Amino acid sequence: MSTTICQVMGFIVSSLGVAGCIVSTAMDMWSTQDLYDNPVTAVFQYQGLWRSCVRQSSGFTECRPYFTILGLPAMFQAVRALMIVGIVLGILGLLVCIFALKCIRIGNMEDSAKANMTLTSGIMFIVAGLCAITGVSVFANMLVTNFWMSTANMYQGMQNVQNRYTFGSALFVGWVAGGLALVGGIMMCLACRGLIPEESRYKAVSYNASGRNISYRTGPYKVGSGYEPETKARKGAGYEEAARSEDGRRSYPSKYDYV
């Protein structure tokens, strides 16, 4: 029962993590304009992975997508790639995990096969969570670097050169989603141990009979086996092979020969 609960909880937590990664990737507020020096403004800007938006004080919002990827920084494109890879791995892990649930029986699937599928889905969830956390952290590092560069320009008297951007809500959603996917993957890997069938304590022992080769002779001779010398060794001296008679028949010793 504990294995089933761990597996189901891992599936639920991982599902929440993958859903959070999708939501975080689709959100536009990865970076928001810093309003520390100017809290009252007519225009508020924020950016996402796919478009940048401007919201006016009247409530009108206009978003413009990035029409090309050539003008975007390399780290920005790397963040996109990491998030997409995390989402794809998470979805594949969910599909595998559904068929690996112990409470679902599909045909004559054995527990060993379910254990392998559970371990595979857990590894996929772990990699997906690491990809999401890494992508969000790289983007956050870009924001921190640009923030301090913009702050240095402001101290030099260039206040209107560029706006400062800070962390958006999508970053926190991505961190939480990546952590959930990572925890769910670990729970699936732990559930895999309970699905592995225990080995039998009694091991089958195979006995190989070392029989001797039996040679078959043609003609008037009888079949000779390898046990004849041992039989002769156990017999007494009086049972030695008797000489053949003149007519070709074997003569056997009588009881008077041993007196």
Q: Note the pLDDT tens digit of each residue in 232-242.
A: 444 444 444 44
**Quick one: pLDDT at residue 124?**
94
Instruction: Quickly list H helices, the chain.
Output: 2-26, 74-100, 111-155, 169-195, 228-234
**Quick one: pLDDT at residue 34?**
80
Nearest CA-CA partner of 239 in 221, 226, 259, 257: 257
**Quick one: pLDDT at residue 221?**
46
Q: What is the DSSP string of 167-184?
A: E-HHHHHHHHHHHHHHHH
Average pLDDT score over residue span 35-63: 79
Overall pTM > 0.95: no
Contact 48, 170 (CB under 8 A): yes
Nearest CA-CA partner of 122 in 195, 65, 173, 56: 195
234: three-class secondary structure by DSSP = helix
- Pick 1-195's CATH classification: 1.10.240.10, 3.30.413.10, 1.20.140.150, 1.10.10.10: 1.20.140.150
Tens of pLDDT, residue by residue over 20-42, are 999 999 998 999 888 766 656 67
Token pair 């060993």 is found at 112
**Quick one: pLDDT at residue 40?**
61
**Quick one: pLDDT at residue 175?**
94
**Quick one: pLDDT at residue 238?**
45
**Quick one: pLDDT at residue 201?**
34
Domain boundaries along the sequence of the chain: 1-195
| Cα 78–Cα 83–Cα 88 angle in degrees, nearest 5 | 125
Q: What percent of the chain has pLDDT over 70?
A: 67
User: Whole-number mean pLDDT of the chain?
Assistant: 76
Contact 184, 126 (CB under 8 A): no
**Quick one: pLDDT at residue 150?**
65
Higher pLDDT, 185 or 248: 185
User: Which neighbouring-strand residues pair with 62?
Assistant: 54
Cα–Cα dist 139/73, whole Å: 11
Indicate whether 181 pLDDT > 60.
Answer: yes
pLDDT band, very low/low/confident/very high, at 164 (cuts 50, 70, 90): confident
- Torsion angle of C-alpha atoms 76, 81, 84, 90, degrees rounded to 10: -120
Name the token pair of 97: 């995990």
Indicate whether 46 pLDDT > 90.
Answer: no
**Quick one: pLDDT at residue 202?**
36
Q: Of 157-171, 175-189, 211-225, which gets the smallest average pLDDT?
A: 211-225
**Quick one: pLDDT at residue 205?**
44
100: three-class secondary structure by DSSP = helix
Contact 185, 124 (CB under 8 A): yes
Contact 168, 31 (CB under 8 A): yes
Higher pLDDT, 163 or 173: 173
Nearest CA-CA partner of 113 in 186, 175, 196: 196
Indicate whether 191 pLDDT > 50.
Answer: yes
| Integer angstrom CA distances of residue 64 from 51, 87, 140, 169 | 5, 24, 22, 19
**Quick one: pLDDT at residue 180?**
95
Indicate whether 94 pLDDT > 80.
Answer: yes
